Amino acid sequence: MIAELQCVVLDCPEPLKLAEFYGQLLGGEVNRPDRRWTLDAHWATLHTPSGAVLCFQQVTDHRPPKWPDPARPQQAHLDLAVADLGRAQEQVLALGAALLDDTRDAEGWRVYADPAGHPFCLIREGQ
């Protein structure tokens, strides 16, 4: 095992509004304080009763997906917690991932693409 799933992140125009929608649908607590995330107008969370966490990320000029139109595909990514960011990077690159952004090292995370091009983030545990 290289990482632990922290949350699933959904891109959207209004994070709090979407978090509240899913809160009504799934139950749970919207924007519960959590050391892993800063809550602001651009980011909201939902801690569900099952223990899963959904996060909602504001995207400028968000274009919703059109099912099943490949020109407007689904928009989501995984945040994965790791103990050692450098070691985890070596491992995911060896598995076929590609590094997309390492400019957030000071914040404790990096962005990668899986072999099919889907983005995911490795986040240093405790961030």
pLDDT in tens, 53-110: 999 999 999 988 888 898 988 888 999 999 999 999 999 999 999 999 999 989 999 9
pLDDT at 127 over 80: no
- Tokens, residue 46: 């939902």
- Tokens, residue 95: 């598995």
Q: How far apart are the first and last CA of the chain?
A: 19
- Would you state the pLDDT for residue 46? 97
Cα 83 to Cα 72: distance, rounded to the nearest angstrom: 35
Phi, psi of 56 (to 5 degrees): -130, 120
Which residues on neighbouring strands pair with residue 10, listed in sequence order? 56, 76
Give the model's confidence band at 40: pLDDT under 50 very low, under 70 low, under 90 confident, else very high: very high
Q: Where are the domains of the chain?
A: 4-63+75-124
Task: Determine the distance from the C-alpha atom of residue 106 to the mean position of all C-alpha atoms in its chain, rounded to a whole number.
Answer: 18
- Tokens, residue 123: 């986040």
* CATH code of the domain made up of 4-63+75-124: 3.10.180.10
Contact 42, 36 (CB under 8 A): no
